[in-house]
A = this chain, B = another copy of it.
């Protein structure tokens, strides 16, 4: 048996449920609950339900009635929209501690995006009503949520800016930096992006085709800026990528 060449280490194939310890730990980690005490977290924990998914499962589809807010306890989830062409557009990639789903307090609203597990996932869910109750009870939490959503809006605007004014190469460089920042880990092959990351997915994130992504990635590799293989990429020279990405200050 040959040695695995992929340095990526996420290996959760079974639908995943998480221990009570993990649940409480994650709720503490969530940026908008982090200011609360143990007792309050424990109480809030009562409101949450647990759901397991395996890689590839859909958590919900866009257009479904938005019943719950989700928080990832373990695994990775991508938010996407389907294009008429059949290709998907990835809007966000979420990691443990992040929330998504039904945020709107409007009672008739639907999910705007589709959420799909890209590893096996344990998610905590809370009904819209219960979440709203939490927000009214702890105004500081509401303030934090508002800040986080504002931050996402800013990120979305940055993406619009990029799509409007930058080349495929620049968008790919920037996306790699963003991913490394979010889920990169130091590794002998470089700053490894710890997600099974295919060329197809990278293409969905950068509004290009897998072919173009592959060409650009190959070029970056030839330039000695990255290290890459099947479903993994590691950055060896982030500064060079930053250079060509021309991040607007």
Contacts and interface: CB of A to CB of B under 8 A. Distances in A.
Determine the main DSSP class of A at the interface with B. helix
A160 B166 CA distance: 14
Given A91-B160, A248-B83, A104 B152 contact: no
A136 B151 CA distance: 20
B135 A143 contact: yes
Contacts of A139: 135-136, 139, 142
A1 interface: no
Of the four ranges (under 10, 10 to 19, 20 to 34, 35 or more), the interface on chain A belongs to: 35 or more
Interface in A137-174: 139, 142-143, 145-147, 149-154, 156-161, 163-166
A20 interface: no
A91 B162 CA distance: 12
Interface in A42-91: 63, 81-85, 87, 89, 91
Contact of A104 (B135, B150, B166): B150
Contact of A163 (B63, B113, B207, B246): B207
14 contacts: A82-B248, A84-B248, A85-B165, A87-B165, A105-B143, A105-B146, A105-B147, A112-B157, A112-B158, A113-B157, A136-B139, A139-B139, A153-B153, A160-B163
Interface of A: 63, 81-85, 87, 89, 91, 103-106, 112-113, 132, 135-136, 139, 142-143, 145-147, 149-154, 156-161, 163-166, 207, 246, 248-249
